[in-house]
């Protein structure tokens, strides 16, 4: 049996991925302009989050999932930087919250690496 926090991580990623399909416009707005095909990227990242969420909750696939989630979160750092640089992408969040998201991202990477 896996630890409860590993199931928590998996469920959070599944729910986050589902949200990409519930509210795609929010995610499309925060993708930097140099990344093509915003709609498709939102769908792809949503699918990836859901799949990895399920994989991290399986003992046979948790190592792959931990590495893949970490890589995905590193890629998502571009979004956090873009949100700091672009007022429209910032979604009216206070600057301190946008800045705080960056170390939080590293905390999430650390969490994912606990399962490799």
Q: Report domain extents, the chain.
A: 4-113
Please name the residue ranges forming H helices in the chain. Answer: 4-22, 24-29, 38-56, 62-85, 95-113
**How crowded is residue 66: how many other Cβ atoms within 10 Å of its Cβ?**
22
pLDDT one-digit tens code per residue, 67-88:
999 999 999 999 999 999 999 9
pLDDT one-digit tens code per residue, 13-62:
999 999 999 999 999 999 999 999 999 999 999 999 999 999 999 999 99
Q: What percent of the chain has pLDDT over 70?
A: 100
Radius of gyration of the chain (CA): 14
pLDDT value, residue 31: 96
């Amino acid at each position: 049996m896996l630890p409860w926090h590993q199931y928590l991580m998996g469920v959070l990623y599944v729910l986050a991925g589902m949200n990409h399909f519930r509210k795609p416009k929010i995610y499309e707005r925060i993708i930097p302009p140099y990344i093509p095909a915003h709609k498709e990227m939102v769908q792809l990242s949503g699918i990836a989050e859901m799949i990895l969420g399920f994989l991290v909750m399986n003992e046979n696939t948790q190592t792959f999932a931990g590495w893949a989630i970490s890589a995905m979160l590193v890629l998502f750092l571009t979004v956090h930087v873009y949100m700091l640089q672009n007022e429209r992408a910032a979604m009216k969040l206070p600057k301190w919250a946008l800045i705080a998201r960056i170390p939080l991202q590293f905390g999430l990477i650390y969490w994912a690496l606990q399962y490799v």
